[in-house]
Structure 1
């Protein structure tokens, strides 16, 4: 799967990008037809501690899944997004099995 990380207004370090790629590659265990994933990392200018926004768009044949989470760190936000995508992909796979 191709992972594209976009970070407007700041530069992400290689450790963070590697972490995101490892997490997203684990999704292929649950659904092996993932084409690519676009990851958007944003920092909101607020006084709140949860000012990091992680948006992940996963493209699968015939559809796209989009998840957006706010967290204290990009790592926590990525974990929450991946867990949500994992549930969605499992649900989609079960629906496909029901049709065959």
Structure 2
């Protein structure tokens, strides 16, 4: 799987990249048809409680999958976004049937 991580309006973080890659790796182990992942981290100063946005777009057979979360820290944002993608992938896996 090819992963593209971008930090928008903020400095890059190697620890955040490593954390995100480990979470995506666990996702790929469960769902092997994922081809590519685009990850965007954004920081907003407008929100009072939250303001850290994580957006992940997955390329797999069929329509692209997208999930986003706005949380108070990066780890929580990645965790919630991955959880949303797992739900979408489970639905897709239940719909698609392998043909032999």
TM-score using structure 1 length: 0.91
Which residue matches 2:81?
81
Which stretches in structure 1 are left out of the alignment for 5+ residues? Answer: none
Secondary structure class of the residue paired with 1:6 = strand
CA distance in 2, matches of 1:5, 1:82: 14
Deviation by residue 1:42-95 (Cα, 9 ceiling, x = unmatched): 011215121101110011023200101000011100000001101111111111
Unmatched tracts of structure 2, length 5 or more: none
Q: How many residues align?
A: 99
The aligned runs of 1:4-83 (5 Å cut-off) are: 4-83=4-83
CA root-mean-square deviation: 1.4
TM-score by length of 2: 0.91
Moved over 6 A (4+): none
